Chain A
Amino acid sequence: ETGVTQTPRHLVMGMTNKKSLKCEQHLGHNAMYWYKQSAKKPLELMFVYSLEERVENNSVPSRFSPECPNSSHLFLHLHTLQPEDSALYLCASSQNSGGRQETQYFGPGTRLLVL
C-alpha cells in the first residue's frame, strides 16, 4: 500500500543536528497531519494542515517546524532535539468536506532516535 509514504523510515540524530522528515500522500486528500507516538502513550497530534493552511498546533515545541508546500507534501523540520523526542512520527491524510471528517490514512512512520 503506497497511499501515504514517509521518508526516511529510520533516523538517528544528535541533539545538534538538523534533519527533515518527509511525507507524501497519493490519495488526493486535502488535509495532512503529523502525529508523535511514544511507547505506552497514545498518539499525540502535533500539526494539522487543511487546504495547505495550518489549523492546529497543539503546543508543540518550536524545535519542530512543519511545512506544507502543497496538498500532497508535508515536511517536519527538526533541530536541536532532545532525547525525549525519540519516538515514531506518523504522517496521515484525510479528505475533509462538508464539516465532516473522513477516515485518516497513515504512513508507515519514521522511527526517530535522538542521541
Chain B
Amino acid sequence: RKEVEQDPGPFNVPEGATVAFNCTYSNSASQSFFWYRQDCRKEPKLLMSVYSSGNEDGRFTAQLNRASQYISLLIRDSKLSDSATYLCVVNEKAGANNLFFGTGTRLTVIP
C-alpha cells in the first residue's frame, strides 16, 4: 500500500483554466502536509504547506480533509509557467524527518 497516492495525469489544460489535483494518504495520524512543484529535470521546490483550515497563496489554494485523508490543490487562471509536476508530500510523525512523497501529477498548460 502506498503511503501517498496521486493521479499521475497528465493533465493538459488551456491557459486560464482552473485545475484541481487530489492526493490521498494512508496514515490517519499524519501530521503535516505539503505541495511541492518539480519542473522537468529540476529539483522539487516547496509550493505551499497545507493547513487544516485551508490556505491560499495567490492563484493556488490548498485544502486538507483529515476525515477522508485527502489533500487538494486548486490552481486558478492557469499560466504556461504552471506546467510542472506537482508532488503531494506527507509527514507522518511530529518531529520526524521522514517525508513521504507521491509520484506526482503532471500538468501541462497549453497556449
Provide the residues of chain A in CB contact with B87, threshold 8 Å. 42-43
**How many A-B residue contacts, CB cutoff 8 Å?**
54
Contact A56 B97 (CB under 8 A): yes
For A48, the closest partner residue in chain B by CB is B97
Cβ of A45 under 8 Å from chain B: yes
B-facing residues in A86-115 (Cβ within 8 Å): 90, 94, 96, 99-101, 103-109
A41 & B46 in contact (Cβ 8 Å cutoff): no
- Cβ contact of B45, chosen from A41, A101, A106, A109, cutoff 8 A: A106
By the criterion of a CB under 8 Å from any partner CB, how many residues of chain B are at the interface?
24
Instruction: Give the total of A residues in contact with B, Cβ under 8 Å.
Output: 25
The answer to whether B43 touches A104, judged by C-beta atoms less than 8 angstroms apart, is no
0/1 interface trace, chain B 79-111, chain A, CB 8 Å (1 if under): 000000001000100111111111110000000
Residue interface bits A24-41, CB-to-B below 8 A is 1, else 0 = 000000010100000011
Looking at A31, A90, A105, A106, the one whose CB has the most chain B CB atoms below 10 A away is A106
Which residues in A have their C-beta under 8 angstroms from that of B1?
Answer: none
A17–B95 CA distance with the chains assembled, in angstroms = 38
Given A42-B103, A101-B32, do A90 and B44 touch, yes or no (CB 8 Å)?
A: yes
Q: A90-B43, A106-B44, A107-B43 are in contact. Are A100 and B95 (CB under 8 A)?
A: yes
Other than the given A42-B104, A45-B99, A99-B95, 8 more pairs (CB < 8 A) read A42-B101, A58-B98, A90-B43, A100-B94, A103-B34, A104-B46, A104-B99, A108-B43
